[in-house]
Structure 1
Amino acid sequence: MNEPNLLYTIAIWLIPLVIAIVFHEVAHGYVARLFGDTTAERSGRLTLNPIRHVDPIGTVVLPLVLAVAHAPIFGWAKPVPVVSANLRNPRVHMMLVALAGPITNFVLAALSALMLGALVAGLGDTPPGDITRFIAANLFNFVRINVFLGVFNLIPLPPFDGGHVVQGLLPRPAAIQYGKLARFGFPILLVLLIVLPAISPNADVIGLLIAPIASAVVGFFLGLAQLGF
């Protein structure tokens, strides 16, 4: 891949990725504030300014490496701080705070699909220019990234959002023990994304379980916009 194509690939993946993960994190913070925890607000994290959310590895290095390697681009931002003890009903409200991120991603995916559908319909039989192709590529990737982030974060293990939901449903003693898995969050992420696929295709949890669900959801949203991909 030559340099212009590489820069184009990075642009059409990194731009929607950064927007998606920023909205995901801000959603957590806003819902936490709604239920009584102002930690994110006091930390200056209730902003769409990506600089406040950038994680050097997850937002910059990893996506760039994946782009150069022609691999599916993935990443994360710095987690928005939430203190569950500050919530009015910590167990229930922490579940809602956790679900806010994936739900926001799914809403963004639906809106992006509708915008892409409107763009395609507006073109009719007119061949798209370079700018239109760039916008369409960003919208399409925005759908895919948001859906993948939403589905991936619902994995029922701490520190993923799905893990917080499971904690809220478990009896309190079991929830405390389950929450201790969060300390292994980054190793779990590396195992799921890198180690297992390298060992064997049959051990690729993301490819075998997450990807088919994400693909089905992407197809659903594109179908709503009367787009077939």
Structure 2
Amino acid sequence: MLDINALIQTIAIAAIPVIFAITLHEVAHGYVARYFGDPTAWQQGRITLNPLPNIDPVGTVLIPLAVLLVSAGNFVFGYTNVPVDYTRLRQPKKDMLWVAVAGPAANLVMACFWALMFKLSWYLTDFFAVPLARMGEVGIKINCLFMVLNLLPLLPLDGGRIAVSLLPNRLAWQVARIEPWGFPILLLLLFTGILGSILNPLVLFSASAIETIFGLY
């Protein structure tokens, strides 16, 4: 049975880590795309640490809440609209690799940031320490989840773009043809439980590695 009070608490604690995990992931794409020749996100004012310009009501709010409800607080997924025009990159196929890697790399940095916040909670009074510690735990897990999820070799996920960048042209073109079916395939994997069986061990390993490095347990 779904515990509504526990779910509300989870949403309240998870809101900030989830919003930043989604928006800064996309901002990183836009920043690196600008470096390699595509100023689209910069021209639209989307390359900013302020998450508000990049919050999409559906992708950043409704979908994460819906997935959180369906999974009883165990899984979350979302997106925002920071545009990248790969055709404007100086070397589209080659530079696509770095643009794609930037998102998961941003999640790795944020996971480390939340590990530091968790450690900071040890030195605060209980009034601040408990929510900050819980937020730190969620921040580590959420960012590891987004990092691992986006590295799956399925377009339009970052892992798919990395694969297209690295594969020979003929194979890359064949992989790129799958992109319109990427999200339906992802949803099918999610609701059949296959996605969870793939992601859970990898997310657990990543989170445990970060916690060990920062001496959290």
Q: 2-side partners of 1:141 and 1:32: how far apart?
A: 29
Aligned to 2:91: 89
Mean CA deviation greater in 18-27 or 45-54: 45-54
Aligned to 2:11: 10
Distance 1:73 1:55, change over 3 A: farther
Superposition pairs of residues 28-177 of structure 1, within 5 angstroms: 28-69=29-70, 70-120=72-122, 122=123, 128-177=125-174
Q: 1-side partners of 2:215 and 2:161: how far apart?
A: 35
In the TM superposition, what is the alpha-carbon distance from 1:224 to its structure 2 partner?
Answer: 1.3
Matched, 1:221 2:210: yes
Identity of aligned residues (%): 39
Larger radius of gyration: 1
TM-score (structure 1 length as normaliser): 0.86
Q: Which secondary structure state, in structure 2, belongs to the residue aligned with residue 41 of structure 1?
A: helix
In the alignment, structure 2 segments of 5+ residues that lack a partner are none
Match of 2:181 among 180, 184, 187: 184
Does structure 2 retain, via aligned residues, the 8 Å contact 1:53–1:77? no
Q: How many residues align?
A: 214
Counterpart residue identity of residue 172, structure 2: A
TM-score (structure 2 length as normaliser): 0.90
Superposition pairs of residues 189-228 of structure 1, within 5 angstroms: 189-194=186-191, 196-197=192-193, 204=194, 206-228=195-217
Show CA shifts across 1:186-216 (max 9, x none). Answer: 212211222x12xxxxxx2x22221101101
In the TM superposition, what is the alpha-carbon distance from 1:6 to its structure 2 partner?
Answer: 4.0
In the alignment, structure 1 segments of 5+ residues that lack a partner are 198-203
